[in-house]
Structures are given as C-alpha cells and as structure tokens.
Chains A and B, each alone.
Chain A
C-alpha cells in the first residue's frame, strides 16, 4: 500500500517534469560534405541471433548481415532493384534464364577475390538440407534443386559459372520474384574458405563476407563492434570507422542513453512519443517511414461462427480502427485493404468496410446471431497487443460479442494459429518479403497456404484460380489487375479485418547524417556519416 502510494507520487512527479532537450550536435548546413571517420553507436534489446546470412530470418540479424555481406542485386532507397555485386544482368525472353556479370575487383575481407564460384557455393550451401536454412524455400525453383537436395547430384544444375565473373541461373518455372529473392540477405555471398575453416555453427559468430564492415568483437549480452572493411569495393565507403552496438537496452534505458547523447539512433518509447512528436526541438531529428506491413485481426474461417461470411463482414464493420491507431500513438495509417499503400497493385478503391456498428448488428441478426456470442482473441502478450485487444473487446461488446483475451508468447501464438481448431480470432501482422502483391495474397490467403501462413484457413477456389493465373505473369500490366480482382473477392469474403499499416519511427543524434529508414529492409549505414 505504502509502496503503491509512493509509486503514484513518483509517477506524478515524473509526468510534471518537462521533456529534456535532445542531445546537442552540429546543425545541418547546405554546403556540408560527408566527413569520414567516427563510430556510430547503436542500441539493441537483445543480441542478434546469428550473423550467418543463410540462417537469419529476422530484422535484427538482417541489419548486421547486410553490413557484412553483399548480394548480387539490392534495393535502392525504395523498392527498385539495383546492381550490387553484379555489374549487369540479362533475362531470357521466356523468363527462365538469368545471366549476371560480376563487378571486378571485389574481395572478401579475408583478402581473397570474390568469384562466380563463390556465388554458386553460397546458394548451394543455403540449399543443403542439413543446414535447415529458412531461406532455402526461396531458391527451390532453380533447375535441379530436387536432385541436389536428395543427394542425386553433387551440385545444383541450374547454377552455372561459365567464367570467373559470370554466373547463370536456370529456373524450372517462371518466377517473377527471382531478382527480389536474389536481393534477400539469404542470397549473400559468403567466403567458402572461412565457412570451411570455422564450420557452419562457427560461421554464425565468425562471419566473413565482402560487405562494408567486418565483425571486430562480439561479447554476447554486452556489445558488438564492427569495423570498416578496408578492402570494400566501393572506394571511399563506408564513411564510418565502425559501429558499436550496446546490447540489452530496454526501450526506456535506450531512450535515456539517447537523451544523454550516448547512442546515436533510438526508438521513441510509447510513454514519451506524443511529447516528442509535438516538440519543435525533436522534430528535425525524427525519422519516419511507411512500411510494407499490415496488422490484421484474423478470423478463423474453419471455426463457427466465423465460417459465415456475414459474421466476418460484421466484424469488419464493428472495429473502430481510428481508436486503435490512437492507442499506438498514431504510429500508422488505417488499413482498409489487405495490401499496404506502398505495395505495387495497391488500390484505395478496393471494397472495404467503414466503421458501422449498427450495420454490423444487422449482419449478425441476418446470420441468426442477433443475441450475440462469446469468442476468444489470441494475441501476443506484449503491452501494445493487449491495448489493441482491449479496444477490440469494447468494439465487439457494442454488437453483442463477448471477447475473451488470450495473451501468449509470440512463438506460442504462431504455433496456435497454425492449428485450424485452436484460435477463433487472432492479432497478427505481416511484413512483405517482396514488393509484390503475391507476398500477401498468395502467401497469406491462397488455400494452399493453410497450415503455414494462411492462418484464417480461408479457401475460395475462385480466388485460388485468379492467384494461380497471376503468379507466373511477368508483365505488371497483366499481373496486377488479376491480383486486384482477387483482393476485391477476398475483401468480400472478409477472412481478415485489416487494422492498420504501421509507420516506422526512429530518432537520430543531431550529428548523424544520411541515416534513412527503408520500406523493406533494416537501415543501411554504408553512406551514413557523422558531422564533427
């Protein structure tokens, strides 16, 4: 009791404290030029899982993998594919053959020259069944993968190296996303000699690539240091001498360290967000970027009463999405469709459901559920998800639906939603792997994806047909309209309540220049520099 009272007093006192100024640093000048040198100081909640690009499949690992390794192609600051290790490439008219010419003079940080054979080795390593790479599925469409995986062939027939600077790929079937797949960190080129020296497990902590930085030190649970790679192929880059990551920072501790000028890039904790955004001293330091993400309420079509489209449509009309956004400090935009606004094929005129509780009630009545029902929402146990869950609880109560919250750990949630009879409703989000509608509509809503990521267990043969037809098409002019038709049909069937598209926020120390958030990838730091 006493402690509670004391806590309340301190909390009140803390709220009355005005927002401290941001750390001070040199203001931007129009004539300034990049200054080499210095160490970028970052904070992280946890250690990265791995630095082996064949293994990592999370933002944290990717952030550092892309500093250490290169891929044949990459994205520009948007979602356009640009050359990286490849100087140029040709695609055959049938879309089945890709031929890349490698840039000359690229070396691994070990000093060895990077050649076409290394590209082949890296992808074959990724596909080796014993490695269990979550990235292997993306390259299963190369010709001869099946024979290779089942030990009938020592190599992947579809990857050839006619010259030291030429690598060619043959696909078993047309894949409009193949270039995007080569831009994934999974396709990073690794130093074969280093892998063989330290082994696959060792490579997770002792990575060797051709990237702008090399790993200098990693004390688990404490810090990781990266140093500039002097052999990096882009001359004059990176500008930074190194990167230092302090591991183990909570949101609050990270924010304190940012305000005290001890780290250069930070998130903004929820408790401070409204004040920071409204503060003119902080505004020029804020970085903001819409992402290719959709947060949604999944409705399990395999479980009554959500097997009825009318009930699912009622749910869509019952949710007050603007209030959900307010609960996350406005860090997003309301979602009316499945595809996020920056996605090719996005169409704001797609059929959607405005907030209409009375209409929702009417649909429930039409479905014979006018007296309401009780159901359960599965969600991750973090504070943000719980707040969203409580808001949904209120919305649904207004139409007579009693919602019980089931907070679980994230891995548990992922496991639960993959069983058809488990979670009637669930809160999930999806972040695009590729800037292509198939990455939402096929991966999450095709009937063949039930059991993996179609956690709504949605199945409509007509939608499947449209998606199957669109999938191999190379021309956007034919491809996108088919995906659009499928999306309209899905919205009519309403297996999801699209909630919002999150917007990414970060804040920089005033000395940091050229740090940008990317719509699809963690930020790249190659061209970041520090003003003196």
Chain B
C-alpha cells in the first residue's frame, strides 16, 4: 500500500513539473514570434501611438521574467487571460468549445478502438488469410492518409455528391458522422495493427495452446483468454493516443467546420491571439498529462512490478 502511495506521489509530482516546464516553453515560444500582437488587435493600418498604447496596456513591454511571473500567478488562479481580439475570457471560450471536441474525440476513439479491437482479433485468428492480408494493406494505406485530405474526400462524396450528410457544421447527430468517421478511420487502423500483433503473439503462447487442447470454444479463447493478456499494453497505448487524437481533432475540426477547441486554436494562430493560443495549447498539454497520469496509475494497480520501477 505504501509502495503504491509513493508511486502515486512520484507520478503526480512528475506531471506537475512537466506542466510547469510546458508553461515555460509555451511562454517563450509565443514570444519569440517576431510579430506585434497589437497589430492583430488594432489592424495593420493602425498608427504607432495606438499600437504602443496597446502594447503597454497588455504589459508586453515589461521584462520577460516579470511577464512570466505574472502569467504563472494568474495561471494559479485559473486565469488564462482574455482574448486579444474579442476581449472574452480564454477559460470561457475553452469551456464553450470543450463539449464539441469531447463529443467528436470520444466518439471517434470509441468507434475506432472497438472496431480496431474486433478487426485485430479476427485477423490475428486468421493469420495469412485473404482477409488478413487485405486488412494489412488497408492499414498501411489508412495510417498514411493525411487526415485533412481524407476529410475533404469524405465531404466531397458523402456531403456534396451523394447529399447524404451535411457539409460541415455542428448540431444534429448527422453532423457528427463524417468528422467522427475521419478520425475513427485512423484510430481503427492504429488499434487493429496493435491488437493484431499482440493477440497474434499471445495466441502462440503455451497457455492458449493448452486451453485450445482442453476444448475451450474459439470465441471464448480469442475474446477472453487471449484478449485479456493482450489488453494490458493497449491501456498504455490509449494514454499515449490522447496526444495523437488531439492533433487529429485539430485538423478534422478545421476541415469540417466543427466548433471545437482545435478550430479555436487554429484560428488563434492565424490571428496571433496569443492568450487563446497559449490557453488552448496549455489545456491540451494538461489533458495529455492527465491521461498519461491515469494510465500510469492504472498500470501501477494492474501490474505491481511497475510501482517499484
């Protein structure tokens, strides 16, 4: 029990220091851009006096250390600042966009994960069959297709040509289908490949051969005996996948005009709305850290050897 607690504390501490490091990197990155945010605020035609007054107001003329200190202090109070352009609180904007991103990301993850699991097991059970080779080729293609391209092709065929689904936007369930499918396809191949390899390895092990010899029915053999063992590394993968999913979400949201965090971030990049940009990136980083922390902790519970690592 003590070992588990120690492990837990170590992990949380590591996550906090990583987050602190992230704030520093992020702070430096958004400030080395050789552009004046005042120009984005007041427009390219604004006179220098107005620009100088805006810079001063934003505290952009203070020493960097002072600015960073102020940034951290506000962060501790949960204040991510206000958008340069709209004047709205960044936390408010993120809160407004989060549900859409969560809906899209979780749907894609769930569909991709379970279909991937199924396909992974089926192909592992029928190694070398035509279906297996077909899936292998599809995986190669699927994993190398750029998300934005796939999204545009889906919109063109299912939205524009066939008129089955709406041309982007959000609202009803049918708006979710194409963007979720775009993301889920990548997820699906990713998990199919991984589960295929892992279940394949497990199927070759002695205990499965024993179970098979004892007459365990095939479905039970694959889904219970083999899958259970193969699942442990998949849990780790889920944690790591959150980061990949976030970047996929950003592209997908942009292509499909999905009003989530990703589009907010992309919009803020183009408009040099630094508080929104920094806020969304930091939020995503925190999300990835939390996901990994949860996985680490789960792992510690599942596999006692990890706690002493």
Contact A249 B257 (CB under 8 A): yes
B97 within 8 A of A: yes
| A-B interface, 8 closest residue pairs, ranked by CB to CB distance from nearest | A57-B43, A248-B257, A134-B46, A412-B35, A221-B259, A134-B42, A411-B35, A201-B87
Q: Which residue of B lies closest to A263 (CB)?
A: B167
Q: Which residue of B lies closest to A262 (CB)?
A: B167
A31 within 8 A of B: no
Task: Tell me the bound Cα distance from A205 to B163 in angstroms.
Answer: 35
Contact A132 B42 (CB under 8 A): yes
Select one of A49, A220, A247, A411 contacting B36, CB under 8 A: A411
> Which residues of chain B are near A133, meaning CB under 8 Å?
50
Contact A410 B44 (CB under 8 A): yes
Q: Which of A6-14, A229-237, A368-376, A508-516 contacts B (4 or more CB under 8 A)?
A: A6-14
Task: Tell me the bound Cα distance from A109 to B152 in angstroms.
Answer: 42
Task: Tell me the bound Cα distance from A528 to B292 in angstroms.
Answer: 56
> Which residues of chain B are near A247, meaning CB under 8 Å?
257
Select one of B141, B156, B167, B270 contacting A3, CB under 8 A: B141
User: Which of B54, B97, B140, B270 has most A Cβ within 10 Å?
Assistant: B270
Proximity string of chain A (194-211) to chain B, C-beta cutoff 8 Å, 1 when within and 0 when not: 000000010011000000
Contact A451 B48 (CB under 8 A): yes
Contact A409 B35 (CB under 8 A): yes
Contact A415 B35 (CB under 8 A): yes
Contact A246 B169 (CB under 8 A): yes
B40 within 8 A of A: yes
Q: Which residue of A lies closest to B153 (CB)?
A: A10
Contact B35 A253 (CB under 8 A): no
B146 within 8 A of A: yes
Contact B160 A137 (CB under 8 A): no
> Which residues of chain A are near B170, meaning CB under 8 Å?
222
Q: Which residue of A lies closest to B142 (CB)?
A: A3
Select one of B50, B149, B160 contacting A134, CB under 8 A: B50
> Which residues of chain B are near A129, meaning CB under 8 Å?
53
Q: Which residue of A lies closest to B168 (CB)?
A: A253
> Which residues of chain B are near A219, meaning CB under 8 Å?
259
A452 within 8 A of B: yes
B264 within 8 A of A: yes
Give the contacts of B29-60 with A (CB-CB under 8 A).
33-37, 39-50, 53-54, 57
11 contacts between A and B (CB under 8 A): A2-B140, A3-B146, A132-B50, A132-B54, A132-B57, A221-B263, A246-B257, A260-B163, A414-B39, A414-B44, A452-B48
> Which residues of chain B are near A256, meaning CB under 8 Å?
155-156, 159-160, 167
Select one of B34, B41, B48, B167 contacting A260, CB under 8 A: B167
Contact A204 B45 (CB under 8 A): no
Give the contacts of A208-231 with B (CB-CB under 8 A).
219-222
Contact B53 A412 (CB under 8 A): no
> A415 to chain B: closest CB distance in Å?
5
B96 within 8 A of A: yes
A77 within 8 A of B: no
> Which residues of chain A are near B42, meaning CB under 8 Å?
57, 132, 134
A386 within 8 A of B: no
Task: Tell me the bound Cα distance from A433 to B44 in angstroms.
Answer: 13
Select one of B45, B50, B272 contacting A453, CB under 8 A: B45
User: Which of B48, B86, B149, B272 has most A Cβ within 10 Å?
Assistant: B86
> Which residues of chain B are near A221, meaning CB under 8 Å?
97, 259, 263-264, 267
Give the contacts of A32-79 with B (CB-CB under 8 A).
46-47, 49-50, 57-58
Task: Tell me the bound Cα distance from A410 to B44 in angstroms.
Answer: 9
Contact A411 B96 (CB under 8 A): no
User: Which of A204, A250, A262, A451 has most B Cβ within 10 Å?
Assistant: A250
> Which residues of chain B are near A204, meaning CB under 8 Å?
86-87
Select one of B43, B50, B141 contacting A58, CB under 8 A: B43
Select one of B40, B96, B167 contacting A253, CB under 8 A: B167
A257 within 8 A of B: yes
5 other A-B residue contacts (CB within 8 Å) besides A6-B141, A220-B93, A257-B167? A46-B267, A250-B255, A252-B152, A414-B39, A433-B45
> Which residues of chain B are near A49, meaning CB under 8 Å?
85-86, 271
Q: Which residue of A lies closest to B82 (CB)?
A: A201
Q: Which residue of B lies closest to A20 (CB)?
A: B160
Contact A134 B45 (CB under 8 A): yes
Contact B168 A409 (CB under 8 A): no
Contact A2 B144 (CB under 8 A): yes
Give the contacts of A130-157 with B (CB-CB under 8 A).
132-134, 136-137
> B171 to chain A: closest CB distance in Å?
8
A416 within 8 A of B: yes
B232 within 8 A of A: no
> B256 to chain A: closest CB distance in Å?
8
Contact A411 B272 (CB under 8 A): yes
> Which residues of chain B are near A134, meaning CB under 8 Å?
42-43, 45-47, 50
> Which residues of chain B are near A3, meaning CB under 8 Å?
141, 144-146, 149
User: Which of A3, A137, A252 has most B Cβ within 10 Å?
Assistant: A3
Give the contacts of B171-185 with A (CB-CB under 8 A).
none
Contact B34 A412 (CB under 8 A): yes
- Residues A50 and B167 in contact in the complex (CB < 8 Å), given A2-B141, A57-B42, A409-B272: no
> Which residues of chain A are near B269, meaning CB under 8 Å?
409
Task: Tell me the bound Cα distance from A39 to B144 in angstroms.
Answer: 43
> Which residues of chain A are near B255, meaning CB under 8 Å?
250
> Which residues of chain A are near B140, meaning CB under 8 Å?
2
Give the contacts of B131-159 with A (CB-CB under 8 A).
140-141, 144-146, 149, 152-153, 155-156, 159
> A425 to chain B: closest CB distance in Å?
17
User: Which of B42, B87, B255 has most A Cβ within 10 Å?
Assistant: B87
- Residues A248 and B144 in contact in the complex (CB < 8 Å), given A57-B43, A262-B167, A415-B36: no
> Which residues of chain B are near A452, meaning CB under 8 Å?
47-48
> B4 to chain A: closest CB distance in Å?
43
> Which residues of chain B are near A250, meaning CB under 8 Å?
254-255, 257
Q: Which residue of A lies closest to B49 (CB)?
A: A137
> Which residues of chain A are near B159, meaning CB under 8 Å?
256
Task: Tell me the bound Cα distance from A113 to B43 in angstroms.
Answer: 33
> Which residues of chain B are near A201, meaning CB under 8 Å?
87
> Which residues of chain B are near A252, meaning CB under 8 Å?
152
Task: Tell me the bound Cα distance from A132 to B40 in angstroms.
Answer: 13
> A254 to chain B: closest CB distance in Å?
9
Task: Tell me the bound Cα distance from A412 to B44 in angstroms.
Answer: 10
Q: Which residue of A lies closest to B36 (CB)?
A: A415
Contact A137 B50 (CB under 8 A): yes
Proximity string of chain B (110-125) to chain A, C-beta cutoff 8 Å, 1 when within and 0 when not: 0000000000000000
Task: Tell me the bound Cα distance from A132 to B41 in angstroms.
Answer: 10
Contact A248 B35 (CB under 8 A): no
> A36 to chain B: closest CB distance in Å?
28
Contact A137 B168 (CB under 8 A): no
Task: Tell me the bound Cα distance from A356 to B123 in angstroms.
Answer: 68
- Residues A412 and B43 in contact in the complex (CB < 8 Å), given A6-B141, A248-B263, A256-B155: no
Select one of A10, A47, A222, A412 contacting B33, CB under 8 A: A412
> Which residues of chain B are near A257, meaning CB under 8 Å?
167
> Which residues of chain A are near B43, meaning CB under 8 Å?
57-58, 134
> A110 to chain B: closest CB distance in Å?
22
> Which residues of chain A are near B41, meaning CB under 8 Å?
132
User: Which of B36, B57, B269 has most A Cβ within 10 Å?
Assistant: B36
